[in-house]
Amino acid sequence: MTVALRESRILIVGLGLIGGSLAAALRQAGFGRLDSHEAGVGGAVERAEILACDPDADEIARGIEMGLIDRGDTRLETMVEGATLVVLAVPVLAMAGVMKALAACLDRAAPTVVVTDVGSTKAAIREAAVAAFGRMPASLVLGHPIAGSEKSGVAAADPELYAGHKVILTPEPDTDPAATARVRALWATTGAEVLEMDVARHDQVLARTSHLPHLLAFSLVDTLARQDERLEIFRYAAGGFRDFTRIAGSDPVMWRDIFIANRDAVLASLDDFDVGIARLRRAVERGDGDAMLATFDRASHARHYFESLLNQTSYQAEYQMQQHGKLRYRVSPGGGVIGRIRVPGDKSISHRSIMLGALAEGVTEVKGFLEGEDSLATLQAFREMGVAIEGPHQGRVTVHGVGMQGLKAPSGPLYVGNAGTAMRLFAGLLAGQAFDTELTGDASLTRRPMGRVADPLRLMGAEIDTAEGGRPPLHIHGGKALKGIRYDMPMASAQVKSCLLLAGLYAEGETRVREPAPTRDHTERMLSGFGYEVHRDGDTCWLQGGGQLIAAPIDVPSDVSSAAFFLVAAAITPGADLVLEHVGINPTRIGVINILQLMGADLRLENEHEVGGEPVADLHIRYAPLKGIDIPVDQVPLAIDEFPSLFVAAANAEGTTRLRGAEELRVKESDRLQAMADGLATLGVTHTLYEDGIEIIGGHYGGGRIDSLGDHRIAMAFTVAALRAGGEIVIDDCANVATSFPGFIDLARRVGLSLVEESSSEEGT
């Protein structure tokens, strides 16, 4: 919770663009108006003040004329008296002198005065503070607004300069928390987002993201400006040149100071850049198109991908909640379910097509690739490990395989967002690499158990560190010799099985996995499609390590898990007649089809055929009354991801539907048994919850407000439930639907659902 800004006298030392814009933003927010601050005895109203100190008297006069400050002076000692908050907005190399002057006259300030700064390097300013004060004062909170302009001076002050931008604070362990809160309040008043990190990390990050780009821009413009044909060069410069070199118009003195103050971090980032540019130069010299493509494609998609991390709730839910609040669905009762649609490609197969294509010899062409955030996270991870990947474009991806030993160490942690499948499969694949890696994900993924893959991988000789409770991030130590094992899985999990088979590719000898119940076999099928021999006998599959993969085309079928929501929608809606095209009907995935048919659904498979070793069909479903059943135990692992939608079918069936043996639902993106039970209770559906299942008595139910807990399948299930509800259903926290089902809203509306998407940033709106 942000503390309100309650300073009575703010002193800004240095009235240039940054200091002037801070004053302008505070004024725009109402600070310093007659009614903006109450103080004194008996409720008398005092006017809060903004003061300034600057060596240029003309800047002071201009600031007063613009209404940004109340008064100012060129002498610091005359302005400090009574100040409650001092902001040092001077160049980095001037900071030592200002700190010393401030220390000499700070006794004139308010007893609870807080000091902060705006410098873009923090270690040098911390050293200046220690030299001036003898230590880091508890009331000094170093900070850095990530905002600026190539313009300078108070005349360029912009009240919107900080709005929507980040301000990084770097408090010390013994910094007064109250002082930090007051500085947070200062920047929050300007509309900035306030973050915290330690000093060393700040300087490293800014050296790469701000200081290095400025250094390169200055160098490029200077290089071209010194050439004889410079007039022709600049005359014909296109927009890209202007965009990149705009920052070369920034204040030279300020940037000289920054490069001197943050020298070590700047040099380290410049060394990294030198390595990259040398690698690209070699590729150009050799005409190595694949190497150039890998670099360009990785950079292009990194730019878009990491921008999406800042703007998509499914990756950065907490960030989005601060900025815009959570996304919610408002679904009205009624509607028909009629038409022909094709849901997105199968997520499980999309993940595996990239993984195996990257490890194959040759070029793999993928059609029907799911362009959801989970799958895109897998794409980006392989780009960061040196794999050239073209696309995706309208579901088409081209993967230039590097072979079993061709992956390169990523420069940092591999972020897989919300993709539990990706993390578990990556764990097996990366356990056999020569380099260390770290796997991390979003807040939801970091709560999911990874010991189920880490433990058997350790039995194979892998060295893996996890967070408390066996949860992400996973630190995988490379260069370990893996040996094949015989492993009896304690739970039916295709992700665990696939993880061990992928590790087995790199293991000495045979890796054999037995599953207690059938699970999806996409990994085995695709390995065979890439020419790698996989054996199966009953409940056990195995492979021999040390082989190779040969590139093969992949046509990704539509995802039966995504189709399930529309199958249930049609099954419960009178008059429904819906065809879902080109859906994967892998025998290990058709539990939802089998269960709906057992419940009496009029569901037929048409146009059955195979693509890339995977069976597909058009699913034609018409409305028919459903009846409650005892769900067969052997169907549970075949429908584990589809149960949220099946629970909605059960709520609309005559009689009781019983599910047991589904404890796996407790450790998905949410505790799906509990989340669905809570939602059904809200709607008035009679049910009994068990540790490993649920009983649901079908009948009429009403509307209500559902918390999806950020779980996309919970959100979509209750969206479908609204078709037969007695009132409107409002579903909170729906942004993660894009994780597995991009385009869900459009398809839902197309077949007849009345669905409105809205922000819930203000409760009750």
Closest CA to 669 of 634, 708, 719: 708
672 annotated to bind ligand? yes
Closest CA to 184 of 196, 173, 172, 175: 196
Contact call for residues 118 and 143 (beta carbons, < 8 A): yes
Contact call for residues 171 and 194 (beta carbons, < 8 A): no
448 annotated to bind ligand? yes
DSSP code for 41: G
300 annotated to bind ligand? no
Catalytic residue selected from 374, 641, 711, 733: 641
100 annotated to bind ligand? no
514 annotated to bind ligand? no
Residue 556: CB atoms within 10 A of its CB come to 28
From residue 180, how far is each of 174, 183, 710 by CA, in Å?
A: 11, 5, 31
Among left, alpha and beta (phi > 0; psi -120 to 50; other), residue 716 is alpha
- At residue 311, φ and ψ (nearest 5 deg) are -115, -10
Question: Which amino acid is present at 336?
Answer: G
DSSP code for 346: P
CA angle 395, 398, 404 (to 5 degrees): 130
Which residue(s) pair with 207 in the sheet?
Answer: none
Largest Cα–Cα separation, the chain: 88
DSSP code for 681: H
713 annotated to bind ligand? yes
Contact call for residues 616 and 609 (beta carbons, < 8 A): yes
- At residue 334, φ and ψ (nearest 5 deg) are 85, -175
- At residue 503, φ and ψ (nearest 5 deg) are -65, -35
Q: What is the DSSP string of 63-114?
A: HHHTTS-SEEES-GGGT-TT-SEEEE-S-GGGHHHHHHHHHHHGGGS-TT-E
Distance, in Å, from the CA atom of 587 to the CA atom of 521, rounded to the nearest integer, reads 9
Contact call for residues 736 and 711 (beta carbons, < 8 A): yes
Burial of 548 (0-12, 13-18, 19+ CB in 10 A): middle
Question: Which amino acid is present at 168?
Answer: I
Helices assigned H by DSSP within 605-725: 643-651, 672-683, 712-721
Distance, in Å, from the CA atom of 284 to the CA atom of 296, rounded to the nearest integer, reads 12
671 flagged as catalytic:
no
627 annotated to bind ligand? no
486 annotated to bind ligand? no
Which residue(s) pair with 327 in the sheet?
Answer: 759
641 annotated to bind ligand? yes
Q: Are strands 363-367 and 396-400 parallel, antiparallel or unpaired?
A: antiparallel
Contact call for residues 444 and 416 (beta carbons, < 8 A): no
Contact call for residues 381 and 440 (beta carbons, < 8 A): no
Residue 672: CB atoms within 10 A of its CB come to 24
Q: What is the DSSP string of 250-305?
A: S-HHHHHHHHHHTHHHHHHHHHHHHHHHHHHHHHHHHT-HHHHHHHHHHHHHHHHH
- At residue 580, φ and ψ (nearest 5 deg) are -105, 120
166 annotated to bind ligand? no
Distance, in Å, from the CA atom of 107 to the CA atom of 113, rounded to the nearest integer, reads 10
Contact call for residues 699 and 648 (beta carbons, < 8 A): no
Helix (H, G, I), strand (E, B) or coil at 541: strand
348 annotated to bind ligand? yes
Binding residues for phosphoenolpyruvate: 347, 420, 448, 495, 672, 713
Which residues define the annotated binding site?
Answer: 347-348, 352, 420, 448, 493, 495, 641, 668, 672, 713
Question: Which residues are the active-site residues?
Answer: 641
Annotated binding site for 3-phosphoshikimate: 347-348, 352, 493, 495, 641, 668
